Structure 1
Amino acid sequence: MENIAGHKPALTWVTRICVLVLVILWLVPTVGLFVSSFRDRDDISASPWWQAPFPTEQTSAARISGEPALVDDVYVLTGNLKDGEEGIGKITAFGVSRSDPTGIVAGEETELRGGGTLVVNADGSYEMRTPEEPSDKGQRVYFAAEVPPEFTTDNYERVLYSNGMAQAFINTFTVTIPATVIPILIAAFAAYALAWMQFPGRGLLIAGVVGLLVVPLQLALVPLLRLHNDIGIGQSFVGIWLAHTGFGLPLAIYLLRNYMVGLPKDIIEGAKVDGATDFQIFTRIVLPLSFPALASFAIFQFLWTWNDLLVAKVFLPSDSGSWVMTRKIADDLLGSRGGDWGILATAAFVSIAVPIAVFFLMQRYLVRGLLAGSVK
């Protein structure tokens, strides 16, 4: 039954469901971050991001004061709680005590402790009647009102135009682009040699590359920084380029070597019969055919380097003029505005906008490069 035309095996549906679940798990926090970036701190604290398009209910307090009018020996004080208050919608409930601030439905009349009555309507208008003249201090009233959703671009203006953010954005590109290109250039030559050239110790080198994939980069940070200081590059852009190159080479060589091994052997042998050298075969045949694997590694290396904080803090100078975006966010925005989630969400979304664009532009090569060498 599995081979009948038009019949899809159960594994196909399982695969599609798993892919759908992974896509949802990836999109949900991204959408939440994007929505939160357009909200202010109070709105984020009042309701979760998925309720952002809907009105929220907030409790406020005000004092009823003014010049009362004497009507039939009763002092009447009228007004509107919304006067001077912006962004307040329909009032749903009110109260006159802190212990029960929203115990009375809007439009209903309630009795005051000192005598008299008070009614607050949904539109914010109120009427207070007392047998004695109200004091100048005024009657405190609590009320719950619907606040319409409000989105603003102020967070983006504060982040994009904050002191040093533009320089941090440029520094991130200055670090990321060379740190992506250099390991690809080196790894492509090494992968071709390990895939198609015969020399003693080739198997040990391949095993060594595979072993380096599991070595944590944290183990090499201090020794590598000491080496940089000894040779005179210290904490600099050159130092971080070489650091990212060293940390990215094992994966690059492993990925490219697996892809190059899977290339048609007849093409390589035919080129050698025609008199082509290894360099000519590499540059004119292997490199063009290996573009999916090169693009696949470029995606990984770009994303990792762009989002890196640890290596940037170790191998870049400590002055703010050399900070990348991740350090600018962590040390400046997070340090000085730790409770302003709107600013942090905006800064995080700005920092991931470029990697998301790179991923979607080159994602068609990702699967082809990752599956390189897995099927013969």
Structure 2
Amino acid sequence: MASLSLRLKRVGLPRLIVHLSVLVIVILWLIPTLGILVTSIRDKGQITTSGWWTAFSSSTQTSAGRLGDPSSARQEGANYVITGSVFEKGQGGTVSAFGVRVQEPAAFPVDKPADLGEGETLTVKPDGSYVYSKNAPFEGSRGKRIYLTVSTPPQFSLQNYETVLKGEGIGQAFINSLTVTIPATIIPILIAAFAAYALSWMSFPGRALIIAMVVGLIVVPLQMSLIPLLRLYNEVGNFLGTSSKTYAGIWLAHTAFGMPLAIYLLRNYIAGLPKEIIESARVDGASDFEIFLKIVLPLSFPALASFAIFQFLWVWNDLLVAIVFLGTGRDQLVLTGALNALLGSRGGNWEILTASAFVTILVPLAVFFGLQRYLVRGLLAGSVKGG
């Protein structure tokens, strides 16, 4: 107890609580992601019978089989015997029990003769082979149906991803999402960086009013501006004789929606840079453009990365703006739209839905983990420094 108390004092109780809280959040966030990944590479039959956390152990499921036709029986002494396998072609597994009623699929153990009545006995081996005998000729034209309790080893495959990317249109939607997201992330960063520098280090009339307007625009709901902006696009499109639903249109829409937050974050960060550096550069005869390009922009990389993460994730996961400004055609759908369509057409195919979902989150995960070290640094620096 004494050593534990000493460690708590050394680490600090508040800091320990923060670390534990972060660990809990990471675990809660990681578990569903891991579940989607594991489910996306499992066999369809195993997904419907067991949870993803049992994916690395054998799963037990009930299936139906049919014995051979009476015409295939052969006489051995006083008995008539039918032999074969309870598994159809392409099936397999280990039979642990069987039954002749769907309500009792585990009524009889394997490797032991089961008395089915009326002089019939059935012996089923773990590999699915069976011996079905009767002390009189078999009747009927079809083989007897039995029910099996089958244990199958874990089965993993990338077939689900191949189906999704080639047969469900996710591949085209993936390209569409990249086509929308990359320019819609770069364009507002470029414009906002110039604006943030001007609002931080250049004196001109109305600067304070512009800063106040930028802060006010952050709280304007996106949905409020969708209809007016779409009407403006349609009028411009009619004037030019072109369609308003183009990639250029959705780039400009996302740029407009992301600009206030981008200017706010970058302005707070750039305004907090050391004043001496800027003044020294001006004394040396550097213009504002040279100061921005050679000094401010390299020093502002953490803030740029912070906003890039926010904007990229927002645009990548967007559905509303993409439907309004790009359309709902099969060749126009982004990943979120394609996944939404699959929920209607493939709602029962978990292997297809989870593979599609993991393709959807794969790029945001890579972007976040690639830039996350700059995220907190950029946000905190912008929140505690001002100018």
Given the two structures, how large is their TM-score scaled by the length of structure 2?
0.87
Which whole-Å CA distance do the structure 2 matches of 1:180 and 1:40 have between them? 38
CA deviations 1:305-351 (Å, max 9, x no partner) are: 122221111101444333333323333x4443232221222222222
CA deviations 1:88-118 (Å, max 9, x no partner) are: 2221111112222222222344332434333
Q: Tell me: CA distance 1:91–1:179, structure 2 relative to 1, closer, same or farther (3 Å).
A: same
| Counterparts of residues 180-199 of structure 1 (less than 5 Å) | 180-199=185-204
Residue in structure 1 matched with residue 253 of structure 2 by the alignment: 243
Q: Judge conservation of contact 2:97–2:106 (CA < 8 Å) in 1.
A: yes
| 1:200 CA displacement | 4.4
Residue in structure 1 matched with residue 128 of structure 2 by the alignment: 124
Residue in structure 2 matched with residue 329 of structure 1 by the alignment: 339
Which whole-Å CA distance do the structure 2 matches of 1:17 and 1:178 have between them? 38
Q: Which residue among 337, 342, 349 is the counterpart of 2:351?
A: 342
Moved more, 306-315 or 187-196: 187-196
Q: Tell me: CA distance 1:129–1:3, structure 2 relative to 1, closer, same or farther (3 Å).
A: closer
> Does 1:253 pair with 2:263?
yes
Give the number of equivalent residue pairs: 373
Residue in structure 1 matched with residue 149 of structure 2 by the alignment: 144
Q: Tell me: CA distance 1:124–1:224, structure 2 relative to 1, closer, same or farther (3 Å).
A: same
| Counterparts of residues 206-217 of structure 1 (less than 5 Å) | 206-217=211-222
| 1:130 CA displacement | 2.5
Q: Tell me: CA distance 1:341–1:5, structure 2 relative to 1, closer, same or farther (3 Å).
A: closer
| 1:245 CA displacement | 0.4
Q: Judge conservation of contact 1:88–1:148 (CA < 8 Å) in 2.
A: no
Which whole-Å CA distance do the structure 2 matches of 1:30 and 1:338 have between them? 19
Residue in structure 1 matched with residue 240 of structure 2 by the alignment: none
Identity rate of aligned residues, in percent?
Answer: 56
Residue in structure 2 matched with residue 363 of structure 1 by the alignment: 372
Which whole-Å CA distance do the structure 2 matches of 1:268 and 1:5 have between them? 45
Q: Secondary structure at the match of 2:130?
A: strand
| Counterparts of residues 208-287 of structure 1 (less than 5 Å) | 208-232=213-237, 234-287=244-297
Which whole-Å CA distance do the structure 1 matches of 2:170 and 2:84 have between them? 48
Q: Give the letter aligned to residue 140 of structure 1.
A: R
Q: Secondary structure at the match of 2:167?
A: coil
Q: Judge conservation of contact 2:164–2:171 (CA < 8 Å) in 1.
A: no
Unaligned runs of 5+ in 2: 238-242
Q: Secondary structure at the match of 2:17?
A: helix
Residue in structure 2 matched with residue 311 of structure 1 by the alignment: 321
CA deviations 1:172-220 (Å, max 9, x no partner) are: 2222122111111111122123323344443443333223222221121
Moved more, 65-74 or 243-252: 65-74
Q: Judge conservation of contact 1:33–1:345 (CA < 8 Å) in 2.
A: yes
Q: Give the letter aligned to residue 359 of structure 2.
A: V
| 1:4 CA displacement | 10
Q: Tell me: CA distance 1:115–1:20, structure 2 relative to 1, closer, same or farther (3 Å).
A: same
| 1:244 CA displacement | 0.2
Residue in structure 1 matched with residue 45 of structure 2 by the alignment: 42
Which whole-Å CA distance do the structure 2 matches of 1:160 and 1:69 have between them? 51
Q: Secondary structure at the match of 1:371?
A: helix
Residue in structure 1 matched with residue 158 of structure 2 by the alignment: 153
Residue in structure 2 matched with residue 31 of structure 1 by the alignment: 34
Q: Secondary structure at the match of 2:65?
A: strand
Q: Tell me: CA distance 1:166–1:99, structure 2 relative to 1, closer, same or farther (3 Å).
A: closer
| 1:71 CA displacement | 4.4
Q: Secondary structure at the match of 1:107?
A: coil
Q: Judge conservation of contact 1:176–1:305 (CA < 8 Å) in 2.
A: yes
Unaligned runs of 5+ in 1: none
Which whole-Å CA distance do the structure 1 matches of 2:254 and 2:91 have between them? 50
Q: Judge conservation of contact 1:87–1:147 (CA < 8 Å) in 2.
A: no
Q: Judge conservation of contact 2:266–2:382 (CA < 8 Å) in 1.
A: no
Residue in structure 1 matched with residue 330 of structure 2 by the alignment: 320
Q: Which residue among 99, 108, 111 is the counterpart of 1:104?
A: 108
Residue in structure 2 matched with residue 374 of structure 1 by the alignment: 383
Q: Tell me: CA distance 1:365–1:73, structure 2 relative to 1, closer, same or farther (3 Å).
A: same
Q: Which residue among 67, 70, 87 is the counterpart of 1:64?
A: 67
Q: Judge conservation of contact 2:188–2:259 (CA < 8 Å) in 1.
A: yes
Which whole-Å CA distance do the structure 2 matches of 1:271 and 1:27 have between them? 47
Q: How large is the RMSD of aligned CA atoms in angstroms?
A: 2.6
Q: Tell me: CA distance 1:3–1:177, structure 2 relative to 1, closer, same or farther (3 Å).
A: same
Q: Tell me: CA distance 1:76–1:169, structure 2 relative to 1, closer, same or farther (3 Å).
A: closer
CA deviations 1:257-293 (Å, max 9, x no partner) are: 1111221122223333444333332222211111110
Q: Judge conservation of contact 2:98–2:107 (CA < 8 Å) in 1.
A: yes
| 1:132 CA displacement | 2.5
Residue in structure 2 matched with residue 15 of structure 1 by the alignment: 18
Q: Secondary structure at the match of 1:320?
A: coil
Q: Secondary structure at the match of 2:11?
A: coil
Residue in structure 1 matched with residue 181 of structure 2 by the alignment: 176
Given the two structures, how large is their TM-score scaled by the length of structure 1?
0.89
| 1:227 CA displacement | 1.0
| 1:247 CA displacement | 0.7
Residue in structure 2 matched with residue 92 of structure 1 by the alignment: 96
Which whole-Å CA distance do the structure 1 matches of 2:66 and 2:295 have between them? 81
Q: Judge conservation of contact 2:113–2:123 (CA < 8 Å) in 1.
A: yes
Which whole-Å CA distance do the structure 2 matches of 1:128 and 1:186 have between them? 80
Q: Judge conservation of contact 2:170–2:356 (CA < 8 Å) in 1.
A: no
